Amino acid sequence: MLANPFKLKKLGILGMNKRNIHYIGAQNDRKFYPLVDNKLKTKVVAQNAGIAVPKLLATIERQSQLRNLKNILAGLDKFVLKPAQGSGGKGILVIMQREGDEFIKPNGQRLQLRDIQRDISNILSGLYSLGGKPDVAMIEQLVEFDPIFDRYSYEGVPDIRVIVYKGYPAMAMLRCSTSESDGKANLHQGAVGVGIDMASGKSLFSVQHGSPITHHPDTGYDFSGLKIPYWEKILTLAASCYEVTHLGYLGADIVLDKNLGPLILELNARPGLAIQIANKAGAIHRYDMIDKQKGHLDVQERVKFSMKNFGTSEPNNK
């Protein structure tokens, strides 16, 4: 599918250069980047706008605080440690459980306090941040995913990536973690991307490492039976990030917490292009249709437009 440039053009596949110039460059004012490039800032702004996010439990800003880590983590049995300015799942540690002084990862691996201190030290020194700048470590509430995803995600929370162009949800994909991705739903870590029909929330196609697959590599379940609940609510949440960030081209990552419902996990000013492979569809036709829209529509009207116009007539499942 991605071989022949003429075919690519016909399919309306967006490539790296055009994305960088016509979409990221033209739509995203650089002055708004710091807001989405820093997960702490995103959280504050989203909360102020009434958008639900996973709770922040603690932040660690200085190496000297590491001596006090035992107290900082007192009473926290499940949590996620992450670099505020990280990306692609790098430097993220998911802790599911605690037994005495040991912290247990989704794959059962046990960590000591000193292992966590070392991870935080790496985060603070900028090992995972853009440009190697010193960073802050965040400790976040562990999202407990909706049981609907039990069969489709292995040892980790799946997230729903929605590309929002000029405030319109344009394309979506569910990303499911695998044993390889170690509790994280990032494609580069080995997660599976499942294209999602914009009208219904049903699955379309699935890819891992850029190649088509039909079943989850660990759970063995067929992705074709999948339908995401609260679909319209998820699209509405994604579309509302436009007003909050002022970014005309963004990727919103949403997780479905079994108790709290849809939450915004993070926002990206430079979303990847693989979502088109999982949808077996190019994004350009959709962006062109959005460009032709006139007048100011509110969030709800934009979501209705996208559900009506970007649905696939025959999603993969019944």
Ligand X SMILES: Nc1ncnc2c1ncn2[C@@H]1O[C@H](COP(=O)(O)OP(=O)(O)O)[C@@H](O)[C@H]1O
Q: Name the strand (E) or helix (H) holding 6.
A: helix 5-11
* Separation between Cα atoms, residue 289 and residue 132, nearest integer Å: 39
Given 14, 19, 24, 89, the residue binding ligand X (CB under 6 A): 89
244 is a contact residue toward ligand X (CB under 6 A): no
- Residue 62 CB contacts under 8 Å (≥ 6 apart), including other chains: 124
3-state SS, residue 97: strand
Nearer to ligand X, 177 or 245 (CB): 177
Nearer to ligand X, 143 or 192 (CB): 143
Nearer to ligand X, 128 or 310 (CB): 128
* Separation between Cα atoms, residue 311 and residue 113, nearest integer Å: 48
* Distance set, CA 2 to CA 12, 137, 193, 220, 285 (Å): 11, 38, 16, 27, 17
* Distance set, CA 47 to CA 38, 41, 50, 52, 153 (Å): 14, 10, 5, 6, 28
Q: Which residues bind Mg ion (CB under 5 A)?
A: 253, 266
Rg (CA), the chain: 19
A 10 A CB-CB count for 147 gives 8
87 is a contact residue toward ligand X (CB under 6 A): yes
Q: Which does 202 bind (CB under 5 to 8 A by kind): ligand X, Mg ion, none?
A: none
* Separation between Cα atoms, residue 111 and residue 102, nearest integer Å: 6
86 is a contact residue toward ligand X (CB under 6 A): yes
Q: Which does 299 bind (CB under 5 to 8 A by kind): ligand X, Mg ion, none?
A: none
159 is a contact residue toward ligand X (CB under 6 A): yes
Candidates 98-106, 139-147, 163-171, 284-292: pick the segment binding ligand X (CB under 6 A): 139-147
Nearer to ligand X, 27 or 141 (CB): 141
3-state SS, residue 205: strand
What is the nearest approach in angstroms of ligand X to the Cβ of residue 149? Answer: 11
How far, rounded to the nearest angstrom, does the alpha carbon of residue 79 sit from its chain's CA centroid?
18
Binders of ligand X in range 55-84 (CB under 6 A):
80, 82
224 is a contact residue toward ligand X (CB under 6 A): no
169 is a contact residue toward ligand X (CB under 6 A): no
* Separation between Cα atoms, residue 36 and residue 127, nearest integer Å: 19
What is the nearest approach in angstroms of Mg ion to the Cβ of residue 266? Answer: 5
Nearer to Mg ion, 140 or 266 (CB): 266
Q: How many residues bind ligand X (CB under 6 A)?
A: 24
Given 37, 119, 135, 140, the residue binding ligand X (CB under 6 A): 140
184 is a contact residue toward ligand X (CB under 6 A): yes
265 is a contact residue toward ligand X (CB under 6 A): yes
Nearer to ligand X, 197 or 253 (CB): 253
Identify each DSSP E strand in the chain by its residue range.
56-60, 79-83, 93-95, 97-99, 102-104, 110-111, 137-141, 159-165, 168-176, 192-196, 203-208, 211-213, 249-257, 261-268
177 is a contact residue toward ligand X (CB under 6 A): yes
Using CB under 6 A, list all residues that contact ligand X.
Answer: 54, 80, 82, 86-90, 92, 94, 140-143, 156-157, 159, 177, 184-186, 253, 265-266
